[in-house]
Amino acid sequence: MLKINYKKLLIKKNKVPITCLTAYSKPLANILDGKVDLILIGDSLGTTLYGMKNTRSVTLEMMKNHGKAVVMNTKSSMTIIDMPYNTYRNKKEALKNALDILSFTKADFIKIETDKKNIDIVKYLTKNKIKVVSHIGVTPQKFSDFNKIKSVGKNTKDANNLLTLAKKLQDAGSKLIVLECINLHTSKKITNNLSIPTIGIGASKYCDGQVLVIDDILNLNPNTKKPKFIKNYYNIEKNIIKAVNSFAKEVKNKNFPSKKYSY
């Protein structure tokens, strides 16, 4: 399968929904490659893999190492990698760290959580040939407590502010814009007013594409409180428990390893 390119993503806008899931390792990269348009190495790895309460403690080194593992095993899908918290506070810092993470991982895009205060950073990165995915609406890096996250864009003022922000980020050179937990009417309005694709997470079917954390759709970490927009597609935990119990039982009964599995 030929590698998806940005031109193909642009053609999909308003025609064919774009698919995106997260991956943090070689096995998942191999599984997702070519089955989704985009693979996101998200800073959500902080909560899903490392048990952090939020994403603020995720480091550049974590993102680089997981990112390299994913990109090395991705041949067809395009890859996006998150810039962690406090790694793009000004233009020079953003460029230095973006070049570092991209040269190490070879990802196609970097993603930064954006508001009106860092539009100039998107513009500066674009000017320096960095492909930027902007992320608006609910931006998790702003929260130390995820329980305080609420959807946005419900009233006219907020909706207009988000639309204005999205347009400015498009003009600044954003290649895609992630819309998180944004009211469906507002998401639709933003999507219809942009020439670049929008990728929704908790932002309705009216976006040009959808992204979810793969651990959530597989029901890993089932005891963690999940937001409204999560849909479980498979309960992998039950099958893992079954396999673990079978292994433990066979070992205790000295049925494993048999001659078949011995040298």
- By annotation, the residues acting in catalysis are 180
d(CA 87, CA 98): 9
Closest to 110 (Cα-Cα) out of 48, 162, 173: 173
Assigned token pair, 121? 């950073």
**Angle ∠(79,85,86) on CA atoms, nearest 5:** 125
Going by C-beta distance under 8 Å and a sequence separation of 6 or more, which residues neighbour residue 90?
A: 121
Q: Cα–Cα–Cα angle for 187, 189, 195, nearest 5°? A: 95
Query: Which residues, at least 6 apart from 4, have a Cβ–Cβ distance to it below 8 Å?
Result: 37, 38, 76, 77, 78
CA triple 121-123-126, angle to 5 deg: 110
- CA nearest neighbour of 223 among 79, 75, 70, 51: 51
* Tokens found for residue 111: 């993603």
- From the list 93, 181, 78, the residue with the least C-alpha distance to 136 is 181
Collapsing DSSP to helix, strand or coil, 42 comes out as coil
